[in-house]
Amino acid sequence: MAVRDFALPDLGEGLTESELVSWRVAIGDAVELNQIIAEVETAKALVELPSPFAGTIAQLYAEPGSTVQVGSRIAAFEVADDAASTPPETPAEGATTEGSTAAIEREPVLVGYGPPVEGGARPTRKPRVFEGGSSAEPAPVAAPASAAAPAAAAQRVEASPRSNPRSTPPVRKLARDLGIELTSLVGTGADGLITRDDVERAAAQATDARAATPSEHARETRTPIRGVRKHTAAAMVSSAFTAPHVSEFLTIDVTPTMELIEKLKRSREFSGLRVNLLTVVAKALCIAVGRTPSVNSRWDDAAQEIVEYGYVNLGIAAATPRGLVVPNVKDADRMTLAQLAAALSELVETARAGKASPADLGGGTISITNIGVFGIDAGTPILNPGEAMILAMGAVRRMPWEFRDEIALRQVMTLSVSFDHRLVDGEQGSRFLADVGAILSDPGMLLTMV
Amino acid sequence: MLRTTASEEHLETELLGLDFVQLLTPDGTRVTNPRFDPLVADIGPDELKALYEEMIVVRRIDTEATALQRQGQLGLWPPLLGQEAAQIGSARALRRDDFVFTSYRENAVAYCRGASLTQLMPVWRGTALSGWNPYDIGMATPAVIIGAQTLHATGYALGCAMDGVDSVAVAYFGDGATSQGDVNEAMVFAASFDAPVIFFCQNNQWAISEPVGLQAQRPIAERAPGFGIPSMRVDGNDVLAVMAATRVALERARSGGGPTFIEAVTYRMGPHTTSDDPSRYVDPEVQAEWAGKDPIARVEALLGSLGAMTDDFRAAVQEKADAAAAELRAGCLGLPEPEPLTVFDNVYATPNSGVERQRSQYAAYLATFGVAE
Amino acid sequence: MSAAMTTETRATETPGSQTLTLSKAINSGLRRALEDDPKVVLLGEDIGTLGGVFRVTDGLQRDFGDRRVMDTPLAESGIIGTAVGLAMRGYRPVCEIQFDGFIYPGFNQIVAQVAKLHYRTQGAVKMPITIRVPFGGGIGAVEHHSESPEAYFAHTAGLRVVSCSNPQDAHTMIRQAIACDDPVLFFEPKRRYWTKGEVSTELGPDTLPMEKARVVRQGTDVTLVCYGPLVITAMDAALAAEAEGVSIEVIDLRSLSPIDFETVEASVRKTGRLVITHEAAQFGGIGAEIAASITERCFEYLQAAPARVTGFDVPYPAAKLEEHFLPNLDRLLDAVDRVMLKRNSLTGWGE
Residue A89 belongs to a domain with what CATH number? 2.40.50.100
Q: Does C77 touch chain B (CB under 8 A)?
A: yes
* Angstrom distance (rounded) from CA C69 to CA B344: 36
Beta strands in C45-116 (DSSP E): 69-71, 92-96
Question: Is A152's Cβ below 8 Å from some Cβ in B?
Answer: no
CB within 8 Å: B152 and C88: yes
In tens, the pLDDT along C30-54 reads: 999 999 999 999 999 999 999 999 9
Cβ distance A167 to C300 less than 8 Å, yes or no, reads yes
Q: What is the pTM of this model?
A: 0.73
Q: Does A178 share its domain with A106? A: no
Interface test with chain A among C246, C249, C300, C302, by most A beta carbons within 10 Å: C300
Q: What is the pLDDT of residues B210-220, one digit of tens each?
A: 999 999 999 99
End of a domain among A104, A126, A159?
A159
Same domain? For A144 and A171 the reply is no
Backbone angles phi, psi at C141, to 5 degrees: -95, 175
A277-287 pLDDT, tens digit per residue, is 999 999 999 99
A52 and A90 in a common domain: yes
Residue B343 CB neighbours (<10 A): 13
Are A22 and A147 members of one domain?
Answer: yes
Whether the CB of A10 is below 8 Å from some CB of chain B: the reply is yes
Residue C114 has a pLDDT of 98
Domains in chain B with CATH codes = 13-338 (3.40.50.970), 339-373 (no CATH)
Judging contacts by C-beta atoms under 8 Å, the chain C residues touching residue A358 are 220
Helix (H) or strand (E) holding A230: helix A227-240
pLDDT band at A356 (very low <50, low <70, confident <90, very high): confident
The residue range of the domain holding A243 is 238-448
Determine whether the interchain pair B189/C119 forms a contact, defined as Cβ–Cβ distance below 8 Å. no
Q: Averaged over A309-321, what is the pLDDT? A: 90
CA distance A294 to A317: 21
Q: Which of B64, B125, B368 to mutate to test the interface with A (most CBs of A within 10 A)?
A: B368
* CB contact (8 A) between residue C121 and residue B133: yes
pLDDT at residue number A108: 42
Q: What is the tens place of the pLDDT at every residue in B304-361?
A: 999 999 999 999 999 999 999 999 999 999 999 999 999 999 999 999 999 999 999 9
Same structural domain for residues A208 and A284? no
Q: How many CB atoms lie within 10 A of CB A266?
A: 9
Phi, psi torsion values for A245, nearest 5 degrees = -85, 135
CB of C72 less than 8 A from some CB of B: yes
What is the per-residue pLDDT across C300-345, written as a single tens digit (0 to 9) for each?
999 999 999 999 999 999 999 999 999 999 999 999 999 999 999 9
**CATH ID of C214-339, from 3.40.50.920, 3.90.950.10, 3.90.1150.10, 3.10.580.10:** 3.40.50.920
Residue C10 pLDDT exceeds 60? no
| Residue A309 sits in the same domain as residue A295 | yes
* Whether pLDDT at A79 is above 50: yes
Residues A154, A220 within the same domain: no
List the CATH number of the domain containing A207.
4.10.320.10
- Name the residue among C253, C149, C134 with its Cα closest to residue C189: C134
Say if A229 falls within a structural domain: no
By C-alpha distance, which of A291, A247, A197, A243 is closest to A423? A243
Domain count, chain A: 3
User: Is residue A350 in some structural domain?
Assistant: yes
Q: What is the DSSP letter of B26?
A: T
Residue A297 has pLDDT above 80, yes or no: yes
Residues A244, A367 share a domain: yes
- Which member of B105, B223, B268, B329 is catalytic? B268
Nearest CA to A67 out of A96, A39, A40 is that of A40
Q: Residue A298: which residues within 8 A CB-CB, separation 6 or more?
A: A306, A307, A309, A365, A386, A387, A388, A423
Chains sharing 3 or more CB pairs under 8 A with chain A: B, C
Handedness of CA C242, C246, C249, C253 (dihedral sign): negative
Angle between helices B181-193 and B148-163 (to 10 degrees): 20
A155 and A37 together in one domain: yes
Nearest chain A alpha carbon to B71: A52
Rounding to the nearest 10 degrees, give the CA dihedral for residues B119, B121, B122, B127. Answer: -140
Instruction: Report yes or no: B352 at the A interface, CB cutoff 8 Å.
Output: no
Residue A192 — very low, low, confident or very high, per pLDDT cuts 50/70/90?
confident
CA distances for B225 relative to B21, B191, B256, C236, angstroms: 17, 10, 18, 59
Q: CB count, 10 Å around CB of A14? A: 10
In chain C, residues with a C-beta closer than 8 Å to the C-beta of B354 are 257-259
In this structure, are residues B100 and B139 in contact, taking their beta carbons and an 8 Å threshold?
Answer: yes
For residue C25, the SS3 value is helix
A170 plus A266 within the same structural domain? no
- List phi, psi (to 5°) of B56: -65, -45
Q: For this structure, is C171 an active site residue?
A: no
CB contact under 8 A, C300 and A166: yes
For residues A253 and A410, the answer to whether their CB atoms sit within 8 Å is yes
Q: What is the CATH number of the domain that holds A347?
A: 3.30.559.10
A232 lies in some domain:
no
Domain boundary among A143, A159, A175: A159
Give the nearest chain C residue to A172 (CA atoms): C303
A147-156, A360-369, B81-90: which has the highest mean pLDDT?
Answer: B81-90
Asked if domains C20-199 and C214-339 share a fold, the reply is: yes
Return d(Cα A327, Cα A319) in angstroms, integer: 11
Do A257 and A209 fall within a single domain? no
Return the H-helix or E-strand segment holding B232.
Answer: strand B231-235
Query: Are residue A185 and residue A265 in the same domain, yes or no?
Result: no
- H or E segment and range at residue B312: helix B311-333
CB pairs under 8 A between A and C: 33
Helical H runs in A267-418? 277-291, 337-352, 358-361
Q: Where are the domains of chain C?
A: 20-199, 214-339
Q: Which of A195, A224, A253 represents a domain boundary (last residue)?
A: A224
The domain at C20-199 falls in which architecture? 3-Layer(aba) Sandwich (3.40)
Identify all chain B residues contacting C70, using CB atoms and an 8 Å cutoff: 193
Band of pLDDT at residue A92, cut at 50, 70 and 90: very low
Residues of B with CB under 8 A from a CB of C: 99, 101, 128-130, 133-135, 140-141, 145, 148, 150-160, 162-163, 169, 181-182, 185-186, 188-189, 192-193, 345-350, 352-355
Classify the complex by whether its ipTM is higher than 0.85, answering yes or no. Answer: yes
Beta-carbon contacts of B342 under 8 Å, excluding residues fewer than 6 positions away, are: none
Strand order across the A55-60 sheet: A2-7, A73-79, A55-60, A30-31
pLDDT band at A95; cut points 50, 70, 90: very low
- Give B109-161 pLDDT, tens digit per residue: 999 999 999 999 999 999 999 999 999 999 999 999 999 999 999 999 999 99
pLDDT of residue C198: 96
A100 compared with C219, residue with greater pLDDT: C219
Chain centroid, CA B206 distance in Å: 16
| pLDDT at B11 exceeding the cut of 70 | no
Rounded average pLDDT over A247-274: 94
Q: Among the options B95, B96, B281, B314, which is catalytic?
A: B281
- C17-36 per-position pLDDT tens digit: 899 999 999 999 999 999 99
Q: Which residue of A has its CA nearest to C263?
A: A151
A231 located within any domain: no
Q: What tens digit of pLDDT does each residue of B179-223 get?
A: 999 999 999 999 999 999 999 999 999 999 999 999 999 999 999
